């Protein structure tokens, strides 16, 4: 059961990474187009900086869970590198639970922020007048994926410890 749930969470994290890479490609194409237009045609898209920023927010947010899955976040192992067995498992669970609490806090307030922006009809103060909730939507979605990955990590730690304990 835990294995299937963890497998599903890993696939969702992989999908977030795929979307993140799509936004990286879009940033590259948009900046390339802007350079081409400025250098060859002496004109601009008027939206490249704005949309590159929106795409970067999506890239980072949607890639959080995959980075967690691959243990890519920065870790300070001065103390944890010396722990073994049950002590290491307890430390891993406690730090992941702390990260989960922070993630849930961030999820709650990012949903509130996005909803408030939507309900107030806020738009970018630029030529495009993009509704801001669209760009903000990537934040709660990415944090939700991270929250799932953290839950999967806790379950995985417990499952691995039980498997080696028997």
Q: How confident is the model at residue 6 (pLDDT cuts 50, 70, 90)?
A: confident
pLDDT at 2 over 90: no
Question: What would the mean pLDDT of 127-134 be, rounded to a whole number?
Answer: 96
Query: What pLDDT is recorded for position 99?
Result: 96
Instruction: Compute the C-alpha angle 15/146/89, nearest 5°.
Output: 120
Say which DSSP state 70 is in.
T
Query: What pLDDT is recorded for position 82?
Result: 85
Please tell me the total count of domains within the chain: 1
Contact 93, 159 (CB under 8 A): no
Residue 139 three-state SS: helix
Query: For residues 43 and 59, what is the distance between their CA atoms, to the nearest angstrom?
Result: 27
Query: What pLDDT is recorded for position 49?
Result: 94
Question: What would the mean pLDDT of 5-34 be, rounded to a whole number?
Answer: 96
pLDDT at 159 over 90: no
For 36-75, how does the pLDDT look when each residue is reduced to its tens digit (9 = 90+)? 999 999 999 999 999 999 999 999 999 999 999 998 888 7
Largest CA distance in the chain: 70
The encoded tokens of residue 161 equal 């410890």
Query: What pLDDT is recorded for position 81?
Result: 79
Query: For residues 59 and 142, what is the distance between their CA atoms, to the nearest angstrom?
Result: 9
pLDDT at 95 over 70: yes
Expressed as residue numbers, the domain containing 157 is: 2-165
Query: For residues 151 and 158, what is the distance between their CA atoms, to the nearest angstrom?
Result: 11
Nearest one of 160, 154, 158, 161 to 101, comparing CA atoms: 154
Q: How confident is the model at residue 3 (pLDDT cuts 50, 70, 90)?
A: confident
Average pLDDT of the chain is 93
Question: What would the mean pLDDT of 132-154 be, rounded to a whole number?
Answer: 97
Query: What pLDDT is recorded for position 165?
Result: 61
Distances (CA, A) of 147 to 23, 48, 80, 97, 103: 21, 31, 23, 10, 6
Q: Report the predicted TM-score, pTM, of the whole model to 2 decimal places.
A: 0.90
Contact 146, 103 (CB under 8 A): yes
Question: What would the mean pLDDT of 98-122 be, rounded to a whole number?
Answer: 98
Percent of the chain with pLDDT over 90: 76
């Amino acid at each position: 059961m835990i294995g299937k749930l963890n497998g599903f969470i890993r696939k969702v994290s992989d999908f977030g990474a795929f979307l993140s890479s799509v936004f990286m490609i879009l940033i590259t194409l948009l900046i390339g187009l802007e350079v081409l237009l400025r250098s060859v045609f002496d004109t601009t898209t008027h939206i490249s900086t704005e949309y590159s920023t929106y795409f970067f927010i999506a890239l980072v947010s949607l890639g959080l869970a995959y980075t967690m899955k691959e243990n890519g976040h920065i870790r300070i192992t001065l103390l944890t590198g010396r722990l073994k067995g049950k002590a290491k498992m307890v430390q891993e669970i406690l730090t992941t639970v702390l990260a989960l609490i922070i993630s849930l806090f961030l999820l709650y307030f990012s949903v509130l922020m996005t909803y408030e922006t939507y309900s107030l009809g806020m738009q970018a103060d630029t030529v495009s007048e993009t509704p801001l909730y669209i760009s903000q939507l990537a934040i709660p979605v990415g944090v939700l994926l991270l929250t799932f990955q953290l839950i999967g990590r806790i379950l995985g730690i417990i499952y691995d410890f039980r498997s080696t304990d028997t």
